[in-house]
Structure 1
Amino acid sequence: MSATFLNLIAALVISIVLTGLLIPKILLIAFRKNLFDIPDSRKIHTSTVPRLGGLAFMPSIFFTIAVLVGVNRLMLTNLHVPYFIFNPVTLCFGMCAVMVIYLVGIADDLIGVKYRAKFIAQVIAALFIVSTGMWIHDLHGFLGIHTLPAWAGVPLSIIVIVFIMNAINLIDGIDGLASGLSAIASIIYAAIFYISGQIIYAIACCAIVGTLIPFFYYNVFGDAKINKKIFMGDTGSLTTGLLLSFMAFHICNMKTAHGLRCDMLVAAFSPLIIPCFDVLRVFGNRILHHHNPFTPDMTHIHHKLLACGLRQRYAMIIILLASMMFTAVNVMLSMYFNITWLVIIDLVAVFAGNYTLNMIINRHSLARRRSRLASPPASPPKDGSPKDTRKPQYQAQ
């Protein structure tokens, strides 16, 4: 087994162990200090659950990367060759960007932060990243555009980074969805970096995956009744979104990867299609119906699947499979089609899927209405108080 592969396994194991040790401590502190995500009419969960799982993300990832880089430098393994050497400016500014988002996320999860302040912090984090030269230099022929000048590429890159962070944040609506999508994207990025010989980034992606695995376990399989369930909160979703955008930008700026004939821009952003397209669709619907695009509602893809009668876990699995399918199909088609055609195909697929879901939701709602009319009315409680039968209202949009 090569030293490179051993480093990737070590990154996975170290981050799994660290996060697995940190999350129970975070749960303990959250319950002692009453730091919970309180259920309301818009949220799917019905019990108080801590939302501080994201606190474990940055320490686990950074510690894993630092330990492996240090050990390899000391032992002078084969990883000291040029492809393991990284730009210190990129590393330092990338850490600054993550630190800004991590601290703002903690503040938001603990005391709440106004959206304007969060947006400013996200822009500052994006500025740290693009200032290293890691911005979109080429659209690879999308809409006939290739090379971008700095005055166009830098603002576009800032918008994309902020957009990806918020897309991961907004898709975090059911158990395991945001962490599952992020883990899939990180695995794909790790494979690309490994094939292209950029091992430090492959190690970072493996550390992200290893951090998400214990969280996924507590989030999906943890029981809130025995205080074992946790959410990632804004700390986790925004931090993960920033890390994914950082990796995606690095990939799209690579000319090619050895052994890969696909378009690197497609390979970079295809794993993020589901959350990004979902946010675009939801915001478009809100604007179309004269609503504030930033006002929360229940029209996201996971809400629609739940409205079709699916359980949370099945809805999560379907979305994760769809993400893998989109990525695989896009990467394969990018070898034969222009990127503009790929975007058109993806948009048609998304609109067709949305239309199909709306049809199923309408039929499901009609069937429930008929069933309610056919069944006798429920008897009121013995204490005489009216029975609360309210449920979250899903909108077919």
Structure 2
Amino acid sequence: MTQWIYIDLMILACVVMITGFIIPQILLIAFRKNLFDTPDPRKIHTSQVPRLGGIAFFPAILFALLLLFGIGVLYDDQSILVRLHNHILPLCFIGCAAIILYLTGMADDLVGVEYRAKFVMQTFAAAMIIIGGLRIENFHGFLGIYALPLSVSVILTALLTIFIINAINLIDGIDGLASGLSAVACGFYAIIFLKSGMFMYSALAVATLGTLLPFFSFNVFGNAQKHKKIFMGDTGALIIGLFLSVMSIESCSIDWLEHNTNPAVLAFAPLLIPCFDVVRVYLHRIKAHRNPFLPDKTHIHHKLLALGLTQRKAMMTIIASSIFIIWVNYVMSSCMDITLLFFCDITLWIVINIILTRSVHSRENRLNCKLYD
């Protein structure tokens, strides 16, 4: 395990340096070619900002992983050789899925892609990882269900993959939110995989974390007026969503006894906020007789902004909440039924949203009263 900690640290450093080098080059090209995310009434930002930051993600991750694994093979490192041999099939198909979504995201960021076409490509990507052998095969007692039939496992894995990809894409509404939540999830998965001896996936989690860190810096602290700010765009959101879905699915196969924590909690606790938020938003749009796939301003971060919080404070509040939820679920799953724990999470989410909605309405009424006075 110690050896893999060093390998993961080298991967992390490599990806951080590569991403930190590529993003300024993307910014330079974007401003020379006028490739901007133009502000509109739905969007929060008011300056022209490139949305091509995600173009750096997949190449940086792929280069670092191939480089470190290649060095291990070159020096005949048996630890790397054995694990590469055991995981070569899923890794190949994960790579194919990533290429599909990487090209789809670039097309959307540059010229625009209809949501139906993106859904089709996401389905192809989900099929790739299923063919590679990654499936949710056990519910670990959730709703009283354990082992799943093959057909149910395949369908559930495909739906979950598409759902997580879209959840990450849709939560990307304010500076640092999608990257911050994803970084927290990647850090959590990296630790869990390391402790479980699943070193190939800990390397993937660390590499994904490494590409998010420099992006977070440019996205949150970059100055748009000085051409230092960038968004991840669909290219980044789709890739990060795919890798998080892979980590989540693989986490379901972890031995419960190794962590004294239900694997389903390990798999999905880091993704509860983006997943719960996308469900609530979809239901809200359907209730309002709007297309659930078309964007609006009803996400959790929009509510916090409506309460008067700045983008940065809203982002930090949501990320801190995610860390708290992960910790509570991790601790409670060892002594609480997983189904009951999940419904407690849902109840808490509903209560928080009701409180936020009422607070927003109350604030709007006070502002209107002051306006008319």
- Structure 1-normalised TM-score? 0.91
Q: Is residue 2:311 matched to residue 1:312? A: yes
* Counterpart residue number, 2:98: 98
Gaps of 5+ in 2: none
Aligned positions of 1:190-229 closer than 5 A: 190-229=190-229
For residue 140 of structure 2, give the secondary structure of its aligned residue in structure 1: strand
CA contact 1:84–1:199 (8 Å) conserved in 2: no
Aligned to 1:60: 60
Aligned residue for 2:238?
238
- Name which of structure 1's ranges 313-322 and 69-78 shifts more when overlaid on structure 2: 69-78
Give, in whole Å, the separation in 2 of the partners of 1:159 and 1:45. Answer: 32
Q: Helix, strand or coil: the match of 2:146?
A: strand
For residues 63 and 95 of structure 2, the distance between their equivalents in structure 1, rounded to whole angstroms, comes to 12
Task: After TM superposition, give the deviation of residue 81 of structure 1 in Å.
Answer: 6.9
Write the letter of the residue equivalent to 2:219. Answer: N
Alignment of 1:1-397 (within 5 A): 2-77=2-77, 79-80=79-80, 82-83=82-83, 85-256=85-256, 258=258, 260-374=259-373
Question: Alpha-carbon deviation of 1:262?
Answer: 0.3
- Cα distance, 1:142 vs structure 2: 1.6
Question: Separation in 2 of the partners of 1:66 and 1:112?
Answer: 31
Would you say how many aligned residue pairs link Structure 1 and Structure 2?
Answer: 373
- CA distance in 2 between partners of 1:158 and 1:63 (Å): 27
Return the alpha-carbon distance in structure 1 between the equivalents of residues 191 and 144 of structure 2. Answer: 29
SS at match of 2:340: helix
Counterpart code for 1:168: I
Bigger drift between 53-62 and 130-139 goes to: 130-139
Is the contact made by 1:89 and 1:132 (CA closer than 8 Å) also made in structure 2? yes
**Alpha-carbon shift at residue 116 of structure 1 (Å):** 1.2
* 8 Å CA contact 1:84, 1:198 repeated in 2: no
C-alpha contact (below 8 Å) 1:262/1:335 kept by paired residues: yes
Which one has the largest radius of gyration? Answer: 1
Structure 1 residue runs without a partner (length 5+): 375-397
Contact in 2 for aligned 1:86/1:200 (Cα 8 Å): no
Assess if the C-alpha contact under 8 Å between 1:18 and 1:60 holds in 2: yes
Matched letter for residue 344 of structure 2:
I
Amino acid at match of 1:100: I
Identity of aligned residues (%): 48
Q: Distance in 1 between matches of 2:160 and 2:294?
A: 21
Aligned residues of 2:185 and 2:270 also touching (Cα < 8 A): yes
Measure the CA separation in 2 of the matches of 1:241 and 1:91. 16
The residue matched to 2:139 in structure 1 has which SS?
strand
How far apart are 1:367 and its partner, in Å? 1.9
Q: Is the 8 A contact 1:134 1:253 kept in 2?
A: no
In the TM superposition, what is the alpha-carbon distance from 1:77 to its structure 2 partner? 4.2
Tell me which amino acid in the other structure corresponds to 2:201.
Answer: Y
CA–CA distance in 1 between the matches of 2:83 and 2:65? 16
Task: Determine the C-alpha separation between the residues in 2 that align with 1:44 and 1:293.
Answer: 20
Change (3 A) 1:2 1:148: closer
CA distance in 2, matches of 1:6, 1:301: 38
Deviations 1:210-266 (A, max 9, x none): 1001100000000000111000000000110000001111111223473x1101111
SS in structure 2 at match of 1:48: coil
When the two chains are superposed, the root-mean-square deviation of aligned CA atoms in Å is 1.4
More helix by share: 2
CA distance, structure 1, for counterparts of residue 222 and residue 3 of structure 2? 36
Deviation at 1:295, TM superposition (A): 2.4
Alpha-carbon spacing, 1:346–1:111, altered in 2? closer, same or farther (3 Å): same
- CA distance 1:132–1:231, shift in 2 (3 Å): same
